[in-house]
Amino acid sequence: MLRQTLHVEKEEGLIYADAMKLSNPLPDEALSEAARITVTEALGVAPGERVLIITNPLADVDEISRYLYHWVREVGGVPNLLWQEPKTLLDPMDKAVRAALLSEPEVYISISANKLGKDVEGVAKPYLAPDGTPYNSLPMYLINGKKCTRGFWSPGITRHWYAKTVPVNYRRLKADCQWLAERLTKAVAVRITSPGGTEVTFSVNGREAKLDDGDFRLPGAGGNLPAGEAFISPVNGSTEGRIVYDGSMSTKDGTLFLYHPITVEFEEGYISQIAGGEEAEALAETIREGEEKADALSDKAEEYRRNARHLGELGIGVNPLAGITGNMLVDEKAARTCHLAIGSNYDNDGPALIHLDGLVKEPTIELEMDDGTRLVLMEDGEMKR
């Protein structure tokens, strides 16, 4: 834990305590190094840049945020650290958080115990980017729409996994992400099977894959830390078949490590059935709550309710330092897995109040290309480079 130290000076018999000097060196060397890499390599913070760090007053995320604050100061940046109470997926963000984001900091960081919170103003009245694209989240509007901010968000991160997974080989990570993204973008359809029983297909025709490679040095760049995935949005209403989640699953209250698999059936593009044990019921309850809260959106209610049962993302993890831990931020970056998210997508044409990542272990992923040929992207969890 960072602690303030009092620097005492004596002048003409008076004693002054300078509380502006922070203790140094930092006591946790591994966490300090991960924070240094974040600030200098992933973000490339320059002297004078304003950095907004939003967190919760809870042990791990608070401590990570203080280390980031320290290293921003070390490189000459101007850090601001803002606490709010912990939020779930469906809770609104605090008004003070939204006000701080409206100041358009050069760098935005969210280190939350669960989620940042929903931007209810943005859901009610989306922000329009210069190209006309609507965004219902202020951070995504500033980064992806207006492109005046850059940064990252790490929901549910712990100090252990931050220190372990951030110091990765970013050159190799970027190469792997780009290799996957190029092939996903050229595909028109995807078929996924797995030893656990997954057998699902969907269209990606016309979609452009995105990557989270940990390079957030330019305005408009954003993603997660730990980084390490390529992802794409399925075409709305195109999903057919069965997904058997057997790694971990996001819910409104956090990530579940799956001791019992969850089977989700899709018919005509949307979820028709969810089966399994208590974990399946927790997923079903989160979807139901996402539907119910959508009813309050008046003219948007039908669209948001429908997309709560939509497949919003296929992501493929490539971070060799990640693993299946029960922490989705880490799990979705793990090699030999893919994640398939229920709810909102990343192309902003499938909005929902939820985005629930679920992990499938050892998948085989086949791509149908626009010339009719088939490409095996991954077989039993191994990328076929």
Query: So what's the pLDDT on residue 26?
Result: 56
pLDDT tier, 281 (very low <50, low <70, confident <90, very high otherwise)? very high
307 pLDDT higher than 90: yes
Q: What is the pTM of this model?
A: 0.86
List of domains in the chain: 7-153 (3.40.50), 168-383 (no CATH)
Calculate the average pLDDT of the chain: 92
45-78 pLDDT, tens digit per residue, is: 999 999 999 999 999 999 999 999 999 999 999 9
The 3-class SS string of the chain reads: CCCECCEEEEECCEEEEECCCECCCCCCHHHHHHHHHHHHHHCCCCCCCEEEEEECCCHHHHHHHHHHHHHHHHCCCEEEEEECCCECCCCECCHHHHHHHHCCCCEEEEECCCECCECHHHHHCCEECCCCCEECCHHHHHHHHCCCCEEEECCCCCHHHHHHHCCCCHHHHHHHHHHHHHHHHHEEEEEEECCCCCEEEEECCCCCCEEECCCCCCCCCEEECCCCEEEECCCCCCCEEEEEECCEEEECCEEEECCCCEEEEEECCEEEEEECCHHHHHHHHHHHHHHHHHHHHHHHHHHHHHHCCEEEEEEEECECCCCCCCCHHHHCCECCEEEEEEECCCCCCCCCCCEECEEEECCEEEEEECCCCEEEEEECCEECC
The rounded distance, in Å, linking the Cα atoms of 72 and 116 is 21
The whole-number pLDDT of residue 299 equals 86
Residue 143 clears pLDDT 70, i.e. is over it: yes
User: What pLDDT score does 44 carry?
Assistant: 98
For the ranges 25-39, 128-142, 195-209, the lowest mean pLDDT is seen at 25-39
Decide if pLDDT at 15 tops 50: no
Q: What percent of the chain has pLDDT over 70?
A: 93
Q: What is the pLDDT of residues 224-280, one digit of tens each?
A: 999 999 999 999 999 999 999 999 999 998 899 999 999 999 999 999 999 999 999
- The first and second tokens of residue 314, run together, are 């296929």
- pLDDT score of 120 more than 70: yes
Q: How confident is the model at residue 378 (pLDDT cuts 50, 70, 90)?
A: very high
